[in-house]
Structure 1
Amino acid sequence: MTGTVRTVADARAWARTGTELMLDAVADLDGTGFSASTALPGWTRAHVAAHVAANADALGNLVHWAVTGEETPMYASAEERAEGIARGPALSADELRSWLTASAHRLAEGFDGLTDEQWRHEVVTAQGRTVPAAELPWMRAREVCVHAVDLATGATFADLPEGFLAALVDEIRDKRALTGLPGRPLPELAAWLSGRPHPIAEAPALGPWL
């Protein structure tokens, strides 16, 4: 079982940190910069940025669901999700940066508006999990923090908050049903468990996560 206790306030703080890392990473990118490769095979920085922007819009749909009770899926279909990612390379650097920024701000404002009761309202994720709205900030924190590293503009797992890394390691360990972990620093463990490049030579290869 997961040993790390995380609160909504924790997750929101981590999401803000990850968002700042993402926006800083793309602040000076031009079209060539956005077309560069990332840590994700086949994805350019434009693909990653579009995915994170579309994720904010999708989580905003779940915020709407929590507020109104109106069933609003994250994505209308798997095709819509894929189209959002593919849209990235077709946008100019300024358009992509604006989408990433505006969508993040809209989601943060949506979180700000949730009442204590609405945080407890249940919604359904794109993976079909039924969760309370209180889980949404953690979902967002994972996206912005891990993908900020994926952009390969300088941020590493060592730049992420220790509490976030501990929660991430616990979650992925449990989902991968691993009973023991190498005695290595949290940033290295998080990179390994999430299927990203890592320096743990003795660790078995794991497939990509997130």
Structure 2
Amino acid sequence: MRRTSEDTLSWSATGTRLFLDAVAGWGEEQYLAPSGLPGWTRKHLVAHVAANADALSNLVRWAATGEETPMYSSMEQRNADIEAGSAKPAAELAAWLQGSADRLTAGTVALSSAQWDAEVVTAQGRTVPATEIPWLRSREVCVHAVDLASGVSFADLPAGFLTALADDITGKRRNAPGPAVVLTATDTGDRWELPGEGDPTAVTGPLAEVAAYLAGRPHALTATDGSPAPALPAWL
């Protein structure tokens, strides 16, 4: 992975600021508008991001104390919390979003070097060092800042984050069913291969569009022969 702990802390801060700035001053009408995710209003998305900060704060607590503290009590509870959050008044939802982000930042700042090395378990069941927490958060806030459908695009995200995101998604897709694709970012020269079914399809375009394509978001990529870029299975 082409990322460092300093990178992920920076991207987490940048993504958090992008997300918070995007929703600043919103009232009920803006919050109730559709997000970029099918079936979710912006309230659903904001509730999800706020709940994610609280869940990652659980992992920070685990790293700090050694006491096993899962991100969520269950996936059913996670989904119920998002639904409940989507019904909160705009002001209450905004306060939860800000407060949860502040608590996560304060918790990570307080971790010692040894605590950063402590092992925790993600919601997907992966055992990782606590140094992975800022990366998990940066993915959430950066990608979902785009999903707010409020004007933020993948082109507004840090280039280093986009490269790391493409690395991360490609790694996860390598063992998933789907078409074989070779991707090249025309503005950076970076290249990714997705093994899969059939002869590989060559797809090229700007790094921001490559990252959007891999993440399953709207994009402007086509194959080099002019045909549509192959549809990919879900990322997460």
State the TM bucket, normalised to the shorter chain: over 0.9
Q: Is the 8 A contact 1:196 1:208 kept in 2?
A: no
Aligned partner of 1:200 in structure 2 is: 221
Higher strand proportion: 2
Of all paired residues, the percent bearing the same amino acid is 59
Q: Is the 8 A contact 2:172 2:235 kept in 1?
A: no
- Residue type at the aligned position of 1:112: V
Cα distance between partner residues in 1 of 2:122 and 2:155: 29
- Residue type at the aligned position of 1:186: L
Aligned pair partner of 1:180 in 177, 182, 189? 182
1:94-105 matches, cutoff 5 A: 94-105=91-102
Q: Gaps (5+ residues) in structure 1? A: none
Cα distance between partner residues in 2 of 1:179 and 1:155: 27
The CA deviation at 1:185 is 1.1
Aligned partner of 1:139 in structure 2 is: 136
Scaled by the length of structure 1, the TM-score of the pair is 0.95
- Residue type at the aligned position of 1:180: V
Q: Is the 8 A contact 1:34 1:44 kept in 2?
A: yes
Secondary structure of 2:120's aligned partner: strand
Scaled by the length of structure 2, the TM-score of the pair is 0.85
1:64-143 matches, cutoff 5 A: 64-143=61-140
Higher relative contact order (CA 8 A, sep 6+): 1
The CA deviation at 1:179 is 6.1
Cα distance between partner residues in 1 of 2:43 and 2:8: 26
The C-alpha deviation readout for 1:176-209, integer Å capped at 9, x for no partner, is 1166212211110111000000011331112343
Secondary structure of 2:218's aligned partner: coil
Aligned partner of 1:166 in structure 2 is: 163
Cα distance between partner residues in 2 of 1:117 and 1:204: 44
Q: Gaps (5+ residues) in structure 2? A: 175-179, 184-202, 224-228
- Residue type at the aligned position of 1:168: L
Cα distance between partner residues in 2 of 1:7 and 1:59: 19
Q: CA RMSD in A?
A: 1.2
Kindly indicate whether residue 25 of structure 2 is the aligned counterpart of residue 28 of structure 1.
Answer: yes
The C-alpha deviation readout for 1:145-186, integer Å capped at 9, x for no partner, is 000000000000000000000000111112111662122111
Secondary structure of 2:61's aligned partner: helix
Kindly indicate whether residue 206 of structure 2 is the aligned counterpart of residue 209 of structure 1.
Answer: no
Aligned partner of 2:226 in structure 1 is: none
Cα distance between partner residues in 1 of 2:94 and 2:109: 23
Cα distance between partner residues in 1 of 2:217 and 2:234: 7
Cα distance between partner residues in 2 of 1:209 and 1:21: 23
Kindly indicate whether residue 212 of structure 2 is the aligned counterpart of residue 191 of structure 1.
Answer: yes
Higher helix proportion: 1
The CA deviation at 1:9 is 1.2
Aligned pair count? 207
